[in-house]
A and B are shown apart, each in its own frame.
Chain A
Amino acid sequence: MLVVICIIGAYAYYRQLRYGLVVTAMRDYVSWGIYISNFVFFVAISLVGSLITAILRLSNVKWSTPLTRIAEIIAVSAIVMASLIIIVDMGSPEKFYNLFLYGRIQSPIMWDVIVITTYFFISCILLYLPLLPDLKILIRHKDKTGSGLNKLYRFQGSFWKGTKEQFKISNKSINILCILIIPVAFSIHTVTSWLFATTYRPGWDSTNFGAYFISGAFLVGAGGVVVAMYVFRRYYKLEKYITELHFDMMAKVTVLLALVYLYFNVNEYLVPAFKMKKSEEAHLSNLFSGEFSLMFWFAILVGMIFPIIILLFKKGRKPLPAFITGIMVVVGAWFKRYLFVTPTLLHPFMPMEDVPLSYKHYFPSWEEWAIAMGSLAACLLIITFFARIYPIIPIEETIMEQNEELEHAHEEV
């Protein structure tokens, strides 16, 4: 199914390359359409790597250990697709090299390119280093993994012997990465928010956008992890490792993040709506009661308020309801990114002169939908690819922690 969606997306992209960006519905008004919404969504969901791996690890939270690899795989997959979708948005991919020839360090777009590359690199190392002890285990089980994969594991980690020195260097490196990834993760989404906030337009003209985007990113990332946890747990029968406790804890994290994000939303919409400046009136009315109102209230209610209500109850934090809520969060977040981009572009402070009426409305063409959905499917395919090759749970770390817990329990007894 995912492959079919990807192929349709690839065909749509072929049409875009052949006929140009004219096959999209993007015109002078909405020049950033569904592609940029998707880009912001991917960047947002990729932040989960830093949340689960780095922040919880540095806070000495033990329960999150089995979830770290899921989070890192999501982060790497999402950041890869974020980079690709921005090239799709450029229209002619061969223009990309111009960014290096004539790139301006003054432009937030350049900052985005730098910080995305950096984040991708950090996420890859953060995925690789904790994988080394697991590779050793996988190499030992050649009969189960097959010779093809065994060659890959040997190439990647045959040098890992699990010596004290190796563990020492590895742990130190992981700690450095965990510290480094937090400011880089904050930068990646702050810079993405600045692509909007440094542009003087209704809905984007805010000093709060960095924090607003980061809080939203953590929320969608947490929602994504809950969904992935449920799927992997069921598919790979991991009930022993991803327990109800993990769902309960992740659900609590999600509630906290949803509340923080809701707070920022109140600030971003209620304060301008209270003043209702003439120049922003059309934009805000369009969101609250106009053309985009259903999508807006869907994003607020399904993406934030309903999840908060459901997850506040213990029954709501059980695996299945948490999974459904995770889907709600992710879907709501996708529509929220659409709302960041399109309505604002339709209402500039100074309307353009003499443009066709059709330019004043935007609904993505089938090619845009196909490419956007294809990119989402490709992201899921990359996640699936990783999950099929590598253990989705950090085996060594989880076993060590379970042993530590047992020893601790014995000592207490």
Chain B
Amino acid sequence: MKNLNMPMKKYKYNLVLSSVLLLMAWSVDVVAQGKAAADKPIFKLSYFNVNNSTQYLVFESLMRTEHSVLPQIGKEYEIFLGDTSALVAKIITDKHGKANAVIPPSLKQAWEASSQHIFLVKEGDKELISDYTINKAKITIDTTTADTVHSITATVQTLKDGKWVPAADVEMKLGIKRLGGILPAGDDETLTTDSSGTVTTELKKLNLPGDSKGNYLLMAQVEDNDLYGNIIVEKSVPWGTVPHYNADFFKERHLWSTGRHAPLWLVSMALFIMITVWGTLIYLVFQIVKIKKLGVNNTA
């Protein structure tokens, strides 16, 4: 009976082993993302107006898979102004799936003729975007200082019938340009323009470090607005502090200092442990030498 059971047992264990291996393969496969899912393309066109002087377009082409969104690299597209007779640029997407296009001088007349423009994007004969509409707009920043209190006023205006008129109800950020983005000047993250197209805020972030002269950049930004796209304006103000770097700081003994300036307590603790352990090991090596000597003497 025992002998009969043996192949059956082996079969069972083989089954268990196969299941484990299958599970392993399954688990590895999970990490490889988005292989089987149905892919869906995403296209986005954005208009940028920087400091009321540089206008350009950014086109982004992405592919949404089951687990991730991947950039479409090296793809060719065409951007048109108004209709397909006015080519703005032929673009090829970069490694981020993005491509920039500047309105060429040949379209200057068409660009200046109207306060509103429609952009089209095509891939070959296929129209990907047909109704991206932009109204021309600009931002101006004014500053006032009274009794050491700094105030910032930003005004958004839009072009209508050849005249600049206030743009009301436009959400915008107003603050100080920092490395990671805009630090709000006041308490609110965003502000909305009133009927005169203005927002005003008092500078609450005091004593911010500026450049070597104490200057930093104020920044007003309208982001992804349905009517005006992206508008960014910067203005330099001498409201920052001149940073003073204490070069001696890193020469003091701290956990964050260089190796030669490690805290003494840490160095002494580490040395104590190392000397104890390695001292014992050296002692043991001597013991092996002693064993060897005993053996050699014994042979002699």
Contacts and interface: CB of A to CB of B under 8 A. Distances in A.
Interface of A: 102-106, 111, 114, 118, 121-122, 125, 128-129, 132, 158-161, 163, 165-166, 169-170, 172-173, 176-177, 180, 184, 291-295, 298, 302, 320-321, 324, 327-328, 331, 335, 353, 356-358, 360-361, 363
A172 B33 CA distance: 56
Given A292-B30, A353-B180, A104 B259 contact: yes
B26 interface: yes
Contacts of B270: 105, 111, 114
Nearest to B278: A118
B62 interface: yes
Contacts of B266: 105-106
Given A327-B20, A357-B70, A361-B67, A160 B281 contact: no
B31 interface: yes
Contacts of B16: 324
Prevailing SS type, chain A contact patch: helix
A180 B20 contact: no
Contact of A105 (B13, B69, B259, B283): B259
Contacts of B30: 291-295
Contact of B24 (A122, A184, A331): A331
Interface string B108-132: 0000000000000000000000000
A132 B259 contact: no
9 contacts: A125-B281, A158-B295, A159-B291, A163-B298, A172-B287, A180-B280, A298-B24, A356-B95, A361-B68
Interface string B265-300: 011001000100110110111011011111110110
A169 B31 CA distance: 54
A103 B259 contact: yes
B294 A163 contact: yes
A363 B33 CA distance: 8
A294 B284 contact: no
A285 B259 CA distance: 39
Interface of B: 13, 16-17, 20, 23-24, 26-27, 30-33, 62, 67-71, 95-96, 180-181, 255-259, 262-263, 266-267, 270, 274, 277-278, 280-281, 283-285, 287-288, 290-296, 298-299
Nearest to A119: B277
A22 to B, nearest CB: 12
A288 to B, nearest CB: 14
The CB with the most chain A CB atoms within 10 A, among B180, B255, B298, is that of B298
A121 B281 contact: yes
Given A105-B270, A159-B291, A159-B292, A358 B277 contact: no
A224 to B, nearest CB: 16
Nearest to B26: A294
Nearest to B16: A324
A50 to B, nearest CB: 14
Nearest to A328: B20
Contacts of A353: 180-181
B287 A335 contact: no
Contacts of B263: 106
B277 A169 contact: no
Contacts of B290: 169
A36 B287 CA distance: 37
B20 A361 contact: no
A30 B239 CA distance: 39
Contacts of A357: 62, 68-71, 96
A172 B13 CA distance: 45
Nearest to B71: A357
A106 B256 contact: yes
Nearest to B295: A159
A335 B281 contact: no
A90 to B, nearest CB: 18
Given A173-B288, A298-B27, 11 more contacts: A104-B258, A111-B270, A159-B299, A160-B295, A166-B291, A177-B284, A292-B30, A292-B31, A357-B69, A357-B71, A357-B96
Contacts of A363: 31-33
A176 B284 contact: yes
Contacts of B71: 356-358
Given A335-B27, A363-B32, A132 B291 contact: yes
A291 B180 contact: no
A294 B27 contact: yes
A363 B27 CA distance: 13
A302 B23 contact: yes
Task: State the 6 A-B residue pairs at the shortest beta-carbon distance, nearest first.
Answer: A159-B295, A104-B259, A294-B30, A159-B292, A298-B27, A295-B27
Contacts of A331: 20, 24
Nearest to B14: A324
